[in-house]
Amino acid sequence: MSSTLISRGESVTTGIETFEFQVEARQLLQLMIHSIYSNKDVFLRELVSNASDALDKLRLESLRDGNLEADTSDLHIAIEVDKEQRTLTVRDNGIGMSHDEVVQLIGTIANSGTAKFLQELKESKDAAASQDLIGQFGVGFYSSFMVADEVTLLTRRAGESQGTRWESSGEGTYSIAPADDAPQGTAVTLRLKPEDTEDALYDYASPRKVREIVKRYSDFITWPIRMAAEAPAKPAADSEEAGDDSAEEAAAPEVETVNSMKALWARSKDEVTDDEYHEFYKHISHDWSNPLETIRMQAEGTFEYQSLLFIPSRAPQDLYMRDHKRGVQLYVKRVFIMDDCEALMPEYLRFVKGVVDAADLSLNVSREALQQDRQIQLMRRRLVKKVLSTVKDTMSGAPERYTTFWKEFGPVLKEGLLGDFENREAILDLCSFATTRDAEEPTTLRQYVERMKEGQEHLYFMTGESRSMVESSPHMEAFREKGFEVLVLTDPIDELWVDAVPEFDGKPLRSIAKGQVDLDTDGEKDEETEAERERQKQDYADLLSWMTTTLSDSVKEVRLSSRLTTSPACIVGDTHDASPQLQNIYKAMGQELPEVKRILELNPTHPLVIGLRTAHGEREDDAGLAETAELLHGMALLAEGGELTDPARFIKLVAGRLEKTL
């Protein structure tokens, strides 16, 4: 709790605890209140969504805990408007919160990500991007302060006797106090700001406006949302005799349900608009932007289920965090069972949001049982294939949306190449890669295969930390000279999957930084070329043997290269050795791979290498030649972006050689 406040005061007589927001939290609240949203109506969507989640959780907990002392006979959401006091209350009789949960869930706006988030907000130039950032940060409850001068939260957790009251004006402090009169569930009461239509701040004390917002954003909520019914129009004579106000006060207002409560996934596609799908997505994902794709599925027969899935238009902030949650909810016959159901969607599709509603599962099924359930496994297979086929349709039918998808989720999708053997070909078909053919336009593997040179047997690639590093690598020289296209792979996951995927469409994948390279196609393999290579092997045999011995602490072999045209030397790995980048990845994860010695390749046509061969033939005992060999190896390491074992010694050797030239 100390991370969420600067100071705390407590009244002994009242039990009221006063907390002070951190500076960053105050800044965030002020941004939200004054400058973020063009559409302030969304505050009500957030409060109703939170209430719906609380009802889901209570029903689920009551199913799992038969001893829970909680009233589940009439679960609902109530919205109460007081026009005279200008207050709006959103009330539910769901799971509620304990005192500690209020501190943790309501008081933790100032978490470790706030500073980064604020910086992104300040750098964001347009309002839409700012709203997206807010949605990713997940502070929907605090959107209440856009429309309210003061917010009061009254809550009591189901099964407990003590309630809690939370209050704040959104300025510097908030208070928490015990509340003996709190009913089960949570009530959020807003003391509304005056109407200001120029600032898109409407009259949220108007029941008609509140109904309009509920119908637009929350009509699909599966719990009843209740409000006092609108009073029927009175005849003019009655109004004159009694007056409108007194007539309304005399009649007890009836309560009506203002949402349809129709689950979108259970309605036919013709009955649902895109706007309704989009609002449902925002409800379950707490995202503020529309989804990129909407995916519907309905399976009938021996095993029935319905699903409504979404591919977001941008990656959430926790996509690569260990404690991220997968976004598919499981229902059984419209009864909420669990959030982030891991059994329904593999790790590499963790960005998919949505709902799966099964007809034949037990209501008290556990996460452990789901992992072994045959029906769940069948559902998972079908859902995965549907998501992948949707991306493929987007790839061909809506290239701009596919480009967005790949930018946001491409590296995650490629994780599937490591474990999902059943769908590996389908995933490969969806991948796009940077290539030396065009600096701006990525390519698919199928497009690469179609462009392969006649006689080319391999799909060539190189991994690295950046495109510039790959393109400037000595390994690229012969490929560039002979016009061979090379895939430029710079995502960390690329280091892993290229070793797991041996081929595509019958063509082996080949790293240009590993093994021997022969770029002569069938038409170029003439007797003269072969004779020249054989002559070079004989001419350099003594030098290569001597250098292999001299550099034995650093390399496993020194040999001639067929991949160099301008550089004197480069370092390559054996075909199945781990690359330096892969070793660094494992090292960052705390797993050291066994040290692997690599191979130093020499360019037999480079003047430096020719000179070294001549000098070795004339004075092989010269100690300076060993230093030259060491320098060649060091330069090759630096050229590929590697690290020298002893930088100080390398600098000393270079300085000594430069001194002799003056």
What distance in Å separates the CA atoms of residue 524 and residue 545, rounded to the nearest whole number?
Answer: 30
CA–CA separation, 212 vs 590, rounded Å? 55
β-sheet bridge partners, residue 424: none
- In terms of DSSP bridges, do strands 487-489 and 459-463 run parallel, antiparallel, or are they unpaired? parallel
- Give CA angle at 136 (267, 322), nearest 5°: 100
Distance between CA atoms of residues 593 and 643, nearest Å: 17
Q: What is the pLDDT of residue 326?
A: 76
The stretches of 158-228 forming alpha helices (DSSP H) are: 207-217
Residue 92 three-state SS:
strand
- Nearest by Cα to 260 from 273, 251, 243, 248: 273
Q: In the prediction, which pLDDT does 235 show? A: 60
Note the pLDDT of residue 80. Answer: 97
> Which parts of the chain register pLDDT below 70?
1-14, 22-25, 28, 32-38, 106-139, 232-251, 363-364, 520-526
pLDDT of residue 133: 46
Q: Are 383 and 343 in contact (CB under 8 A)?
A: no
Beta carbons within 8 Å of 656's beta carbon, 6+ residues apart: 627
Beta strands in 198-323 (DSSP E): 225-228, 255-257, 293-299, 305-311
Q: Tell me what pLDDT residue 24 has.
A: 63
Predicted local distance difference test score (pLDDT) of residue 112: 39
> pLDDT by residue (tens digit) across 573-621?
988 887 777 777 777 777 777 888 999 999 999 999 999 999 999 998 8
pLDDT of the residue at 35: 55
**Alpha carbon distance 312, 566 (integer Å):** 47
Instruction: Single out the residue of 364, 224, 390, 356 nearest to residue 284, CA to CA.
Output: 356
Helix (H, G, I), strand (E, B) or coil at 355: strand
Say how far apart CA 305 and CA 361 lie, in whole Å. Answer: 10
301: left (phi over 0), alpha (psi -120 to 50) or beta: left
**Matching residue, tokens 């719906």:** 52
Q: Rounded to a whole number, what is the largest CA-CA distance in the chain?
A: 124
pLDDT value at residue 129? 46
Instruction: Tell me the pTM.
Output: 0.74
| C-alpha to C-alpha distance for 434 and 487, rounded to whole angstroms | 6
Distance CA 123, CA 25 (A): 18
Backbone angles phi, psi at 159, to 5 degrees: 95, -10
Q: How far apart are CA 661 and CA 637, in angstroms?
A: 24
Residue 489: which of 429, 450, 530, 443 has the closest Cα? 443
